[in-house]
């Protein structure tokens, strides 16, 4: 048996994630397929490589010994590809993969698709849900070209570029039976609320989530959903209130007949950046798509 790059990427991502499920997600493969590849690696190196300890896959001494050589080899392969694969957006048929929360898609996708249609008609996009737990593995393996969001706990091998800051507004149905245009804190807290929940993911929206939970009596939070768009839709069809990023709310204000107002308490500002792995920093296609995002969506008037 001879080793191939796919197997070495499995080795690398498992070493980072220490979890079969997260590693499979980061690599974009099924867990049975990942287990089969791991079995082949174990046979090749005549070592278990990873031993299950509770819910984690802990590396053996042999794995830690191999780690520097595997990382170096994969870095060199990436650099070699970058040097010999020029990228021309006018003729490319490449598919770029990135992750973003659904509120970000509302801001990004219409303008981005129009730009690609004009300047890079063969380029395609694959947008996947944001998964902060598997983010580094997905960027390191190349499963994701980059990620959009606000993730504080990433390693030094993950580069970032600030783009814009998110502020929050509250939305309710335009026909809401009780709320004034500028409700008091008491009136706001007394309403039924739908909460967009990202707790446990590491995404910075959880700061906003905690601020809302600190202001609203628990019995008045009637529903928690994982989607900003779904929450806004529910607000448009019920008498519940939702607090969401302002840019998304303004895009949906007309189509969903929403009323926007400032929440009567202090809300955090979330800095949104694009993230990519050091390994792909000089890869021409990755440089082009990141520069395109920066030119379309960065806010020069703001700073992180």
23 vs 30: CA distance, rounded Å? 10
Q: By residue range, what is the domain housing residue 209? A: 168-268
What 8-state DSSP symbol labels residue 128?
E
- Predicted confidence at residue 6, as pLDDT, reads 85
157 lies in the same domain as 175: no
- Predicted confidence at residue 107, as pLDDT, reads 87
Let me know if residue 203 belongs to a domain.
Answer: yes
Q: What is the residue-level pLDDT of the chain in tens, covering all 304 positions? A: 678 888 888 888 888 888 888 888 878 888 899 999 999 999 999 999 999 988 888 999 999 999 888 888 887 777 776 666 678 999 999 999 999 988 888 889 999 999 999 999 999 999 988 777 778 888 888 889 999 988 877 888 899 999 999 999 999 999 898 887 788 999 999 999 999 987 655 567 888 899 999 999 999 999 999 889 999 999 999 999 999 999 999 999 999 999 999 999 999 999 999 999 988 898 889 999 999 999 999 876 555 5
- Predicted confidence at residue 188, as pLDDT, reads 93
DSSP 241-289: EEEEEHHHHHHHHHHHTEEEE--SS----EEEEEEEEGGGTT-HHHHHH
159 lies in the same domain as 176: no
CA neighbor of 146 nearest in space, from 209, 97, 203: 97
- Predicted confidence at residue 1, as pLDDT, reads 65
Let me know if residue 303 belongs to a domain.
Answer: no
pTM of the shown model: 0.74
From residue 258, give the alpha-carbon distance in Å to each of 76, 164, 189, 242, 261: 52, 24, 19, 10, 10
- Predicted confidence at residue 48, as pLDDT, reads 92
111 lies in the same domain as 63: no
54 lies in the same domain as 101: no
Let me know if residue 253 belongs to a domain.
Answer: yes
Q: Write out the E strands in 34-90.
A: 50-53, 56-59
257 lies in the same domain as 217: yes
- Predicted confidence at residue 193, as pLDDT, reads 96
What angle, 0 to 180 degrees and rounded to 10, lies between the N-to-C axes of helices 228-237 and 102-119?
110
Domain count of the fold of the chain: 3
- Predicted confidence at residue 256, as pLDDT, reads 95
Sheet hosting strand 258-261, strand order edge to edge:
221-225, 193-196, 241-245, 168-173, 258-261
Q: Write out the E strands in 32-177.
A: 50-53, 56-59, 95-99, 124-128, 146-149, 158-166, 168-173
Q: Write out the E strands in 65-123.
A: 95-99
250 vs 171: CA distance, rounded Å? 10
């Amino acid at each position: 048996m001879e080793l191939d790059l796919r197997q070495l990427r499995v080795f690398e991502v498992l070493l980072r994630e220490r979890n079969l499920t997260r590693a499979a997600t980061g690599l974009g493969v099924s867990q049975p397929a990942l287990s089969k590849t791991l079995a082949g690696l174990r046979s090749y190196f005549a070592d278990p490589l990873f031993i299950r300890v509770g819910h984690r896959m802990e590396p053996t001494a042999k794995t830690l010994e191999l780690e520097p050589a595997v990382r170096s080899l994969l870095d060199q392969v990436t650099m070699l590809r970058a040097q010999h694969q020029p990228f021309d957006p006018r003729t490319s048929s490449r598919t770029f993969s990135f992750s973003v929360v659904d509120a970000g898609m509302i801001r990004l996708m219409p303008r981005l698709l129009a730009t690609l249609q004009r300047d890079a008609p063969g380029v395609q996009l694959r947008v996947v849900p944001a998964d902060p737990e598997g983010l580094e593995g997905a960027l390191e393996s190349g499963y994701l070209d980059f990620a959009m969001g606000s993730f504080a706990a990433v390693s030094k091998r993950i580069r970032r570029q600030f783009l814009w800051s998110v502020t929050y507004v509250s939305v309710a149905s335009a026909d809401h039976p009780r709320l004034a245009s500028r409700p008091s804190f008491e009136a706001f807290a007394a309403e039924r609320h739908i909460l967009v929940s990202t707790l446990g993911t590491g995404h910075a929206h959880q700061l906003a989530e905690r601020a809302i939970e600190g202001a609203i009596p628990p019995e008045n939070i009637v529903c928690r959903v994982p989607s900003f768009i779904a929450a806004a839709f529910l607000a448009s069809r019920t008498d519940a209130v939702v607090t969401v990023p302002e840019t998304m709310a303004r895009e949906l204000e007309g189509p969903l007949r929403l009323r926007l107002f400032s929440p009567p308490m202090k809300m955090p500002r979330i800095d949104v950046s694009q993230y990519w792995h050091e390994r792909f920093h000089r890869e021409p296609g990755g440089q082009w798509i990141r520069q395109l995002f920066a030119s379309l969506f960065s806010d020069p008037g703001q700073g992180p």
